[in-house]
Amino acid sequence: MGTLNMLGLAKRIGARFLLTSTSEVYGDPLEHPQKETYWGHVNPIGVRSCYDEGKRTAETLTMDYHRGAGVEVRIARIFNTYGPRMCLDDGRVVSNFVSQAIRKQPMTVYGDGKQTRSFQYVSDLVDGLVALMEGEHVGPFNLGNPGEFTMIELAEVVKETIDPSATIEFRANTADDPHKRKPDISKAKELLNWEPKISLREGLPLMVNDFETAS
């Protein structure tokens, strides 16, 4: 509904509209890495569906307003992002691991920890969104870091960065958890002249410093 309201506003005042969509539109992908042309593999009635399908519907509405009402739109599909000023307890995997390691609690890994994610530092994402809005291409564009880590590998990087004595605790996996997530960013490289610059090992300490100050 928020997307619909903002599209109506953009139509009335002639604004360019940015939809920050998500890699979750790909669901639990059967294509790896994921290109923008991939339609996804999503359970429409699962526990995660309100988010996945909500974003997919938002993309549909955005393109309908673009085609039907001439609204200038841009669509970004954002992959996992981390950085300073995040909430310690927001439930995202990087924040979880960092806050747990700082508090000397075991890092919680769900399932076998072999599921993969790609993590981009927040300033890289901001650069991508600015390039998208200043350019002439509608999208959608994958904005993410192609560096792919299993949850266990992520936990190891957090251990190296914060506390080598940190431990890992395995728990039952959540339903419909995607097994793999990695963006193909060829389109953004070619049309937006954008690619991420900051690796996880470079970006994580910047986030940790902020968390340690906050806690």
Give the DSSP H/E element, type plus range, for residue 4. helix 2-13
Q: Kindly tell me the sign of the dihedral angle through the C-alpha atoms of 128, 133, 136, 137.
A: positive
Q: Is residue 51 flagged as an active site residue?
A: yes
Place of tokens 């060829």: 186
Q: Which of 26, 51, 110, 121 is catalytic?
A: 51
User: For residues 178 and 8, what is the distance between their CA atoms, to the nearest angstrom?
Assistant: 33
Strands 17-22 and 120-121, bridge-based pairing: unpaired
**Helical packing angle, 151-162 and 200-214, nearest 10°:** 60
Give the DSSP H/E element, type plus range, for residue 185. none
Give the DSSP H/E element, type plus range, for residue 17. strand 17-22
Active site residue ranges: 51
